[in-house]
Chains A and B, each alone.
Chain A
Amino acid sequence: MSDQNRLSVFKTYKLYVGGKFPRSESGRVYEVSDAKGKWLANAPLSSRKDARDAVVAARKAFGGWSGATAYNRGQILYRVAEMLEGRRDQYVAEVADAEGLSKSKAGLQVDAAIDRWVWYAGWTDKIAQVVGGGNPVAGPFFNLSSPEPTGVVAVLAPQESSFLGLVSVVAPVIATGNTAVVIASEKSPLPALSLGEVLATSDLPGGVVNILSGRTAEIAAPLAAHQDVNAIDLAGADETLAKELEVAAADNLKRVLRPQPVDDVDWSATPGTDRMTAFLETKTVWHPTGALGASGSSY
């Protein structure tokens, strides 16, 4: 059968929660259009129940993921890049549609996103040495500071950069052992929902990344107020929403990463360590060293 006669198969976009692909609990969808207003798909319009389910999944996954070796986490992040590379064309098409970009410009975005996974894959087993270490205390103690993931992080993905922006905020969160509940770009959620399919086939344990689509403000409110969420990245919030969510986050003293002014964000620049350290705690462990014999010159 020739191409022009073949009716294409539409894709039903679904959420990615706990390693599975559920529809929204609410049964709602919303229309997603390309940059010119042409209908692309119906995306799930997540409810607060979906958000809470995603937190449960992320919490359940936290022990295993944070307890995995840094080497193992690096391998898995790199595997995500491998899987994405193989499906590059799909993402180029989705990003081009979502952001109204030419194929070549969308290609640059996708390439940068793939490289971003590789970059963070290399960080998993280095960040502890860069931000932790032994402290030379004035006393007979061995004392060591190490970074630990803060827990479940709610991530409001950037609204404009549907894929590179998304990857730039998700990869650092999980590289350090946190688990994430991600709200995709409201207007352009399809690349994010497709990322779930890649994550599901990259040996990433289910629940480490959970992806929701829908109204950012509607889903973010219960996440910011959720007592079992430890941190929130407000990248995708406007000024008013960010303030509202930051106030809610104070209830259990969530770590808050405030949105940077939109004009200043260049998602293609090599990131620093800020997005990793924002969701790390420093744990300092002390132990007496004792003394072997009296002080003196013998050795």
Chain B
Amino acid sequence: MASASAPTAASAFEYAPAPESRAVVDIAASYGLFIDGEFTEAAEGKVFKTVSPSTEEVLSEVAEAGEADVDRAVKAARKAFEKWSALPGPERAKYLFRIARIIQERSRELAVLETLDNGKPIRETRDADLPLVAAHFFYYAGWADKLDHAGYGANPRPLGVAGQVIPWNFPLLMLAWKIAPALATGNTVVLKPAETTPLSALFFADICRQAGLPKGVVNIITGDGRAGAALVAHPDVNKVAFTGSTAVGKQIARTVAGTRKKLTLELGGKGANIVFDDAPIDQAVEGVVNGIFFNQGQVCCAGSRLLVQESIHDELLDSLKRRLSTLRLGDPLDKNTDIGAINSAEQLARITALADQGEAEGAERWSPACDIPESGYWFAPTLFTNVTQAHTVARDEIFGPVLSVLTFRTPDEAVAKANNTPYGLSAGIWTEKGSRILAVANKLRAGVIWSNTFNKFDPTSPFGGYKESGFGREGGRHGLEAYLDV
């Protein structure tokens, strides 16, 4: 790691370790596929291991779904659809409310589980992921008996079986974003969690059981991209929802071309965080840090490009470097940890390669002094300065804790640079001038604009991208459309 002249101010006193106990989670040695209300083995009997990214410890072994399993799950969902969609809205709502409540009850257990399987800090799973997961189920539970009022006509109909494929960066939150609106609108679900983070979805299967959800309404199939591809291509799936990389999103769009399957895609991003010279520097620095180092930067809407007005470049960079030097990287289960582990060896390799390329292309690399644990997958918070728009680190989504810094002089230039990307998911604006916020927000081609804040999420608020960041919105009234025949 490059650990140049980090101006680390010696702390007055060191933090004592404050590990969250993992005793609250009971992980079984192996898990099957959750189909038609039962855990079953994969037809071909294949399994794969899921590891903790921070220690490389094997957590469990899960079944690897093949085409026959996908077919079985879709059939179960199809069978369950008839009754589930016919259920009166208030009854469907109550199931969702039950699920939301059970998630709250088991929130600590799920937060620890998610941290173990994903590598993200417990502070984030506890304070961000889990509260949002519960909130999503509460929000969409309330829609289940009010669909006539959602603006999609009287008596809007569900589509049928939803095939849903979700990523590893927010395993349980992405599950909630997909399953809550699907069930509220009367669809049934086959969901495939990411290969590296299957456990929380399997725990969710148990929550469905506790909630007494009818069999087959939710089916969870674990496996790799092949299972996802089989699910997307299955002829009896009516709706496909995918969150993940733009490359895979394009492949899915090709697969469903010429079919009647409804499709929504939440894909990659290269969000610009624009800091004007009148921005409150300390708040902007916090926002920039939150924008790119939240969840180790493994966030599609991360503010991975910092666009700073030239006149405050040096001041802001000094502040930012000082702040980065106080970030604590290490054991994700420690409550004081800011930066956890990268989700997988594969992702670490990708981040490493792109950062190395940035250096090779002439951008200036900087990381604070920080100890990297011996085992597990780690990447120190990294800044690139002297970056131009042509640099790979300014163009490609890195999906890691790597921030590229560019400068601008005028608001027009900021807008032009921010929009100079095939992506269009998120952007940030930092300025004290209200009219400038509105003018710039208006011109940015992105689905979510955070002004004087960053990385805020809420179930009532539509989220989704422009351009190659995908189409469709999740959250809010808008999120219902994807699951209704409108």
Contact = CB atoms under 8 A, between A and B. Distances in A.
Interface of A: 130-131, 135-139, 141, 143, 145, 150, 230, 239, 242-243, 246-247, 249-253, 255, 258, 272, 274, 281-288
Instruction: Pick the most buried of A242, A246, A272: most chain B CB atoms within 10 A of its CB.
Output: A246
Nearest to A252: B468
Nearest to B455: A286
Contacts of A281: 447, 466
A139 B450 CA distance: 14
Contacts of B467: 230, 252-253
Nearest to B444: A283
B409 interface: no
A281 B442 CA distance: 13
Nearest to A258: B260
A190 B122 CA distance: 66
B250 A253 contact: yes
A253 B456 contact: no
A282 B449 CA distance: 11
Q: Is the interface of A mostly helix, strand, loop or mixed?
A: mixed
Interface in B438-454: 441, 446-453
Contacts of B135: 138
Interface in B254-273: 254, 257-258, 260, 265, 267
A250 B447 contact: no
A94 B260 CA distance: 35
Interface string B458-474: 10111110111011010
Contacts of A247: 254, 257-258
A283 B470 CA distance: 13
Given A135-B460, A282-B478, 18 more contacts: A135-B458, A137-B456, A138-B135, A139-B458, A141-B456, A145-B478, A247-B254, A247-B258, A249-B253, A253-B249, A253-B250, A253-B253, A253-B470, A253-B471, A274-B486, A283-B448, A285-B451, A286-B448
A143 B151 CA distance: 20
12 contacts: A131-B478, A139-B458, A143-B461, A145-B462, A243-B258, A246-B253, A253-B246, A253-B249, A282-B462, A283-B449, A283-B466, A284-B462
Contact of A251 (B250, B265, B441, B470): B250
Contacts of A249: 253, 257
Given A252-B422, A253-B253, A253-B265, A282 B468 contact: no
Contacts of A283: 441, 446-449, 466
Given A130-B151, A282-B478, A135 B462 contact: yes
B437 interface: yes
Contact of B456 (A139, A242, A272): A139
Contacts of B476: 135, 145
Contacts of A251: 250
Contacts of B460: 135-138
Indicate the size class of the contact surface on chain B. Answer: 35 or more
A258 B263 CA distance: 12
A53 B451 CA distance: 38
Nearest 4 pairs between A and B by C-beta?
Answer: A243-B258, A250-B253, A246-B257, A137-B458
Instruction: Pick the most buried of A150, A246, A282: most chain B CB atoms within 10 A of its CB.
Output: A282
B471 A288 contact: no
A274 B153 CA distance: 11
Nearest to B428: A286
A246 B257 CA distance: 5
A286 B447 contact: no
Contacts of B251: 250
B455 to A, nearest CB: 10
A281 B472 CA distance: 8
A250 B448 CA distance: 22
B458 A250 contact: no
B478 A138 contact: no
Contact of B250 (A138, A139, A141, A250): A250
Nearest to B457: A137
A253 B473 CA distance: 15
A146 to B, nearest CB: 9
A97 to B, nearest CB: 34
B466 A284 contact: no
B257 A243 contact: yes
Nearest to A142: B451
A284 B447 contact: yes
A282 B461 contact: no
B265 to A, nearest CB: 7
A250 B258 CA distance: 12
B461 A135 contact: yes
A13 B258 CA distance: 34
Nearest to A133: B477
B295 to A, nearest CB: 18
Contacts of A141: 453, 456, 458
Contacts of A274: 486
A250 B265 CA distance: 11
B42 to A, nearest CB: 30
A151 to B, nearest CB: 8
Contacts of B253: 246, 249-250, 253
A138 B451 contact: no
A288 B452 contact: yes
A150 B466 contact: yes
Given A135-B458, A137-B460, A242-B258, A282 B473 contact: yes
A250 B254 contact: yes
Instruction: Pick the most buried of B246, B251, B447: most chain A CB atoms within 10 A of its CB.
Output: B447
Contacts of A143: 458, 461
Interface in B226-269: 246, 249-251, 253-254, 257-258, 260, 265, 267
A250 B461 contact: no
A243 B257 CA distance: 5
B462 A253 contact: no
A250 B257 contact: yes
B473 to A, nearest CB: 5
Nearest to A138: B458
B470 A286 contact: no
A135 B450 CA distance: 14
A136 to B, nearest CB: 5
Given A282-B473, A286-B453, A145 B267 contact: no
A284 B448 contact: yes
A111 to B, nearest CB: 27
Interface string B82-120: 000000000000000000000000000000000000000
Contacts of B451: 285-287
B449 A286 contact: yes
